[in-house]
Amino acid sequence: MNTQRISLLLAAACLALGSSAYANLVTNGDFEMGNLTGWTLTENLTDAGTNLVEYRNGVNGYVMEFGSTDLGSLSQTLTTTPGQAYVFHFDLAAEHNTNPYPISSFQASWNGNTLMAVQYIDNATSEHWLSPNDFVVMATSTTTNILFEAKNPASYFSIDNVSVEELPEPATWAMALSGVGVFAAVRRMRSKVSTP
């Protein structure tokens, strides 16, 4: 096998390793099914449901809108690998349609650990996107519960683009970097051999 073929194979391997995408563990995390498939919703969310709304980037699609005078929740149990790090992501919007504007609260949890807890006291009728919300989390068992809790008497919260993806391990990055190093060494040897 000549040097050029080896270089091409190493380059292809490095590109494949570097661009490998990890699967989203969340079922229906973008709510584009138009329903709550994969999610568990508490009865406290009296006006919960998916509604067709306009995304902040102008593209129409589904988001999960929920709010209630009592604290309610939306959750999903994921299959995870103990000791594996993950990136937990979601987009969040808070909407207020009434005056006076009562205090609203939102909380996001990973397997019982609160990652985000906020209260809103808004003074305008508007929708505020808080994106991105990314958290690096660690799985401690084979199942992990993600939980969103909300109370918004004035209107509702919107959740969208919920994802949980594996964080690449350091060994993966080390392998990719060593592959790039080998590729560079082969290219250098090739250029020295071909120069008179």
pLDDT winner (highest mean) among 25-34, 134-143, 171-180: 134-143
Output 74 or 192, whichever has higher pLDDT.
74
pLDDT in tens, 112-134: 999 999 887 655 545 555 567 99
pLDDT in tens, 165-177: 999 876 554 555 5
Q: What is the pTM of this model?
A: 0.70
In this structure, are residues 177 and 8 in contact, taking their beta carbons and an 8 Å threshold?
A: no
Residues 180-187 have a mean pLDDT of 60
Write down all domains in the chain, each with its CATH number in brackets.
22-172 (2.60.120.260)
Q: Report the C-alpha gap between 134 and 33 in whole angstroms.
A: 23
Confidence band for 139, pLDDT divided at 50, 70 and 90:
very high
Confidence band for 15, pLDDT divided at 50, 70 and 90:
very low
CB atoms within 10 A of CB 184: 12
Supply the DSSP string of 91-140, one letter for each residue: EEEEE--SSS---EEEEEEETTEEEEEEEE---SS-EEEEEEEEEEEE--
- The pLDDT assigned to 3 comes to 55
pLDDT in tens, 59-102: 557 777 776 677 778 899 999 999 999 999 998 887 766 555 66
